[in-house]
Amino acid sequence: MKYALFLGCTVPVRAQHYELSARNTAHALGIEFEEMSGASCCGFPMKAVDAETSLLIAARNISIASALNLNIITLCNSCTAMLSDAQLELQNNSFYRKCKELGFAFPHDVTVKHYVRMLYEDIGIAKIKAAVKKPLSALNVIAHYGCHYMRPSYLYGFDDPEVPHTFDELVTATGATSVKYPDKKMCCGGSVLGVDEALAVTMANHKLQIAKTEAADALISICPFCTVMYEDNQRKAEEKFETQYNLPVLYYPQLLGLSFGLDKNAVGFRFNRVRPTALLAKVGGES
């Protein structure tokens, strides 16, 4: 199985451990990625300014995968929503004409899927379970979906936007327990970070507090933006709310790689800001 990998802005320079673990777990499952040379930002950062500009930037990225005749895999929830939005918009004649005017060609129809959705739909839980060599049964983790993994449902038509379950199943496939917890769909606050930092940190704190109450070993993220909130801003939340979390935030492919028994360097645990030392000790690994 071969896909075009769309990296976006944050992952290739700020979350290499996500990219590294995603590539290595994909490889272990027999998935091949082709690079999208010339791909830019997905366009989402310009959506609030001018929706058309953001859609055109996204459409140009789609045209790159279309030339390769490969379906797109994304690692960021917002990139997934933005590219999917443009994919839908391409059916609108006036938008398509504008793309043509800009010289974008779409020789092949391609789909857009988040890496996690691809694992769920194209690989399947059974195959993933079969690849697990070191079941992580000692771990209790909080699965954080993030907003744009399954919403808006009119773009995706995937999973249940109110009671999502696909990511929990994938977490459970590693042998870990996906803790049942309240306010599962709570937004990380990432989108308001640039507008009101105190509000964004308060939003992130909500789930950090829940993870503490549930005594979770880690929060599992599938979006670099959510990780910015839960990991990079964890210290700020601790200061603001006068508490201690020390909660590791792992990207799902890191957890998956751990269960596959991949080498620690193949999943990049040394790049996690909150060191998962205690977590790794529990499963008999080292950081």
Q: Which residues bind other proteins (CB under 8 A)?
A: 7, 9-10, 12-14, 16, 19-20, 23, 35, 37-41, 45-53, 55-57, 60, 98, 101-102, 147-148, 151-154, 161-162, 185-187, 189-192, 194-196, 199, 202-203, 206, 268
Radius of gyration of the chain from its Cα atoms, rounded to whole angstroms: 19
How far from 128 is each of 123, 137, 157, 165, CA to CA, in Å? Answer: 7, 15, 23, 16
Sheet hosting strand 112-114, strand order edge to edge: 32-35, 2-6, 72-74, 112-114
Comparing CB distances to other proteins, the nearer of 101 and 242 is: 101
- Cα 32 to its chain centre, rounded Å, is 18
Q: Which two tokens stand for residue 148?
A: 């744009």
**Shortest spacing between CB 258 and other proteins, in angstroms:** 18
HEC sequence for the chain: CEEEEECCCHHHHHCHHHHHHHHHHHHHCCCEEEECCCCCCCCHHHCCCCHHHHHHHHHHHHHHHHHHCCCEEECCHHHHHHHHHHHHHCCCHHHHHHHHHCCCCCCCCCCEEEHHHHHHHHHCHHHHHHHCCCCCCCCEEEECCCHHHCCCHHHHCCCCCCCCCHHHHHHHHCCCEECCCCCCCCCCCHHHCCCCHHHHHHHHHHHHHHHHHCCCCEEEECCHHHHHHHHHCHHHHHHHCCCCCCCCEEEHHHHHHHHHCCCHHHHCHHHCCCCCHHHHHHCCCCC
